[in-house]
Amino acid sequence: MEDRPGDDRPQLPPPSLWPVGFAVGIVCLLVGLVVSWPAAAVGAALAVVFGFLWAREVATGRAQVAGPPPAEPSPDAPAIPAHRGEAAMPEPEPGERFPRSKFLEGATLGLGGVIGAIVTLPAAGFAVLPGFLKQKAHEVDVGPLTDFEENKWKLVTFLRDPSEGEISRRTAYIRNNGLLDGKPSFTVISNRCAHLGCPVQPGGPLFPKQEKTVKTDNGEVQVTPMLPAAGFICPCHGGAYDQEGNRTAGPPVRGLDRYEFSIRNGRLILGNTFSVGKVVGSGKDARIKRYELTGPGQHVDGIESWLYPLQPPH
């Protein structure tokens, strides 16, 4: 609509970009929760900055551009009657400090935020929190130290959580490395391939006739001597590892996972598993580049590791 001379109605300001920036920040935050913490941090920062600017604009009010001034009366125009015009008008009262439109705008935004939180937070909680709650450290007694001779490999199968039954059965390859600083040292390698999770096999003979069954608080544990002279091999896709679990060939992206261990009352106790980038050295002198447990096929170091979703605690 064209402005007419004398039309002093305020013109609407151009649209604000702060809501757009706030929306972009929220999107980056949500994507970052799936992709990586750095992306989530950038999204949170954008949302905070643009949200603050948006809120400040709403609270202070946008600058209004006044229309063109009314045209000056012509000298030949008739005089304005005394009861009309500015001369006869009473003294104007002070304007509203907080107009109704501003109050309604702020109330609408606040109510929208409350409704959004009511709708979003429960769904997000049910989707995210279960992976972080009720996590517990698994401990498995796999038998007395006398069952693990020094420098000998044993294939050990056990139930990680007896209450879950056979679905929790795990296999570990264990070697007694002797004493390190006066304490027993063990290499405890998981049989889960770092490619797609297939069970790797020892690259050497097993001795099933020498298998021993040990009864523990976690149920029966089978201990079988073995000789992985060629390390460990995945029969599914040809992944190969040395005796320390380092990848030597095939598609795996990292080394084999390992188990934490402790010694309690002369017995070997296995704890949680963790991922390994690389092992330098061997036996009790090995230096392990350790990471939080990650899924098969997932990189644990380098730029590739930034491309994977965040993992809940294990």
Q: How many Å apart are CA 109 and CA 26, to the nearest integer? A: 16
Q: How many Å apart are CA 48 and CA 21, to the nearest integer? A: 10
Q: How many Å apart are CA 88 and CA 111, to the nearest integer? A: 45
pLDDT at residue 230 greater than cutoff 90: no
Q: Give the torsion through C-alpha atoms of 184, 267, 261, 229, to 10 deg.
A: 70
Domain assignment present for residue 127? The answer is no
Mean pLDDT of 6-34: 69
pLDDT at residue 63 greater than cutoff 50: no
What's the structural domain count of the chain? 1
What pLDDT score was predicted for residue 299?
A: 87
Domain assignment present for residue 73? The answer is no
Mean pLDDT of 244-249: 92
Which of 59-63, 119-123, 253-257 shows the lowest mean pLDDT across its residues? 59-63
Instruction: Tell me the CATH number at 215.
Output: 2.102.10.10
pLDDT at residue 21 greater than cutoff 90: no
181 or 307, greater pLDDT = 181
pLDDT band at 78 (very low <50, low <70, confident <90, very high): low
Q: Give the domain range for residue 235.
A: 140-307
Report which residue type is found at 14. Answer: P
Domain assignment present for residue 70? The answer is no
pLDDT tens per residue across span 145-155: 999 999 999 99
Domain assignment present for residue 87? The answer is no
Domain assignment present for residue 181? The answer is yes
pLDDT at residue 185 greater than cutoff 80: yes
Q: Tell me the average pLDDT of the chain.
A: 80
Domain assignment present for residue 92? The answer is no
Question: Highest mean pLDDT range out of 47-51, 161-165, 273-277, 308-312?
Answer: 273-277
Domain assignment present for residue 224? The answer is yes
pLDDT at residue 222 greater than cutoff 50: yes
Domain assignment present for residue 274? The answer is yes
pLDDT at residue 1 greater than cutoff 50: no
pLDDT at residue 99 greater than cutoff 60: yes
Mean pLDDT of 222-249: 92
Residues contacting 205, CB < 8 A, separation 6+: 226, 227
pTM over 0.75: no
CA 187, 191, 195, 201 dihedral sign is positive
Mean pLDDT of 244-260: 92
